[in-house]
Amino acid sequence: LRSPQSRVRSHWLRPPPSEFPQSRSVFPKNPLQASSRRNSHNQSLARGFCPTLNSERINFPTQSRDSRRLCNPRQDRPDTRLEQRPSAVEATKPKPRRPADYPPNGFGDFWQRKLRTSFRRMNRSGSGLLTRDDFRAIGDEMVRLGGLSGQRAEDVRGVMLRIWDDYYRPREGGSGISADQYVAQKCRMVNGPLRDDVTRYGQELFKAMDHNGDERISREEYRIFTEAWGIGDRARDEMFELMQRDGAVAKEDFLSALADFYISEDESSPYSRLFGDLC
Ligand SMILES: [Ca+2]
């Protein structure tokens, strides 16, 4: 008689060749059998079973890409084809350009319409004469809509008044400028100093828009800016989608859009509506 220990040991010993069970090849010779196994495998996948995981039920949606990838170790890399495909909005985004890269401006009618549109947005009083009071009113409105107080409120008001003093105040005297004077001023500058000024002007405006100082314009901050300037909802949503990345607008994207608006004569540019529908 064999002791219990020897029986346990014999269980792990390799049996003689004659005692091998009938081996079953994983590659059946019969093609019908192979086809049957493939079908069974596919049906298991369709039902959400994963044969390589001991047939446990996987609660993935039936036939989802994820379930098939989990069940097939060869497909261990995620499918990035959809992620690489640009969205419709991404496809219409113009390539960022520096102000100096634009060709000389010929003062065309379309470009002048853009300027008159921006003039109307800034002329909050609607008097036809752009004055310091317009910029004070815009600053006050941005503070009110943003619920700002203290130093931050003073900073926003200060930026708007500085924009008036540095970029719009008539150097020849007088309390304000008309739309014609505004356009004439831009015609004198667009092929010269405006190429630098538009970046500095945009940086100042960005400071007033960025209420929490994180160097990005959130959707809410952009809403406050457009409401204070009288820019319509449709243009607001369209421009934000064009400029945003990861849900907010970075400074370089805003500066690029602003430069396009003030310098480009391209009628197909989507940034033509940065200050709302053209007048
Ligand atoms: Ca911000």
**Distance between Cα 98 and ligand 1 center (Å):** 23
Q: State mean pLDDT over 257-276.
A: 96
Lowest mean pLDDT of 72-81, 162-171, 227-236, name the range. Answer: 72-81
> In 52-64, which positions are buried (b, 16+ CB within 10 angstroms) versus exposed (e)?
eeeeeebebeeee
Q: Which residue has the tokens 């390539």?
A: 95
Q: Which residue has the tokens 């009083």?
A: 125
Most confident of 79-88, 89-98, 172-181: 172-181
Instruction: Give the span between the Cα atoms of 151 and 129, in whole angstroms.
Output: 30
**Distance between Cα 249 and ligand 1 center (Å):** 9
Residues 50, 163 within the same domain? no
The DSSP letter of residue 64 is -
Mean pLDDT, the chain, integer: 81
On whether residue 182 sits in a domain, the answer given is: yes
pLDDT value, residue 114: 98
Most confident of 35-39, 172-176, 238-242: 238-242
**Distance between Cα 165 and ligand 1 center (Å):** 25
Residues 58, 126 within the same domain? no
**Distance between Cα 248 and ligand 1 center (Å):** 8
What type of residue sits at position 155?
A: D
Q: State mean pLDDT over 215-234.
A: 97
33 has pLDDT over 60: no
pTM comes to 0.68
Contact residues for 207 (Cβ-Cβ < 8 A; gap 6+): 155, 159
**Distance between Cα 207 and ligand 1 center (Å):** 9
pLDDT value, residue 14: 53
CATH code, domain with 200: 1.10.238.10
* CA 3 to chain CA centroid, nearest Å: 76
Instruction: Give the span between the Cα atoms of 261 and 119, in whole angstroms.
Output: 13
**Distance between Cα 241 and ligand 1 center (Å):** 16
Q: State mean pLDDT over 10-34.
A: 50
217 has pLDDT over 70: yes
Residues 144, 43 within the same domain? no
Residues 206, 69 within the same domain? no
pLDDT value, residue 173: 85
Domain assignment of residue 65, given as a range: 39-73
Q: Report residue 52's pLDDT band, with 50, 70 and 90 as the boundaries.
A: very low
**Distance between Cα 82 and ligand 1 center (Å):** 30
Number of domains in the chain: 2
